[in-house]
Amino acid sequence: MAYVYILRCRDGTYYTGYTTDLERRVKEHNRGTAARYTRGRTPVELVYFEECSSRELAMQREAAIKRLNRRQKESLIRKGYPSGSR
């Protein structure tokens, strides 16, 4: 099981990543021990996530979300967590 997630950073930007432990990863972002991008933008807030059946699928979905523009990401966030796993 893996997750792809979107964080809203303190400055209003979005960060997309994937992990096998969502709770731990969000804590790492807020401690400043995760991605370099989020280190100066704490606190971060988890605003969206999807469950994926494998790490490979989560990585593919992360890449697809990173290609979205801001408006498309916000639309995804508004729609919320999709039903079912990938």
Tell me the CATH number at 69. 3.40.1440.10
pLDDT value at residue 80: 84
Q: How confident is the model at residue 7 (pLDDT cuts 50, 70, 90)?
A: very high
pLDDT value at residue 81: 64
Higher pLDDT, 72 or 85: 72
Query: Rounded to the nearest 5°, which phi and psi values hold at 17?
Result: -150, -175
Q: By the 8 A CB rule, do 18 and 65 touch?
A: no
- Say if 8 falls within a structural domain: yes
- Encode pLDDT of 27-83 as tens digits: 999 999 999 999 999 999 999 999 999 999 999 999 999 999 999 999 999 998 654
- Say if 84 falls within a structural domain: no
pLDDT at 2 over 50: yes
Which amino acid makes up residue 55? R
Q: By the 8 A CB rule, do 25 and 34 touch?
A: yes
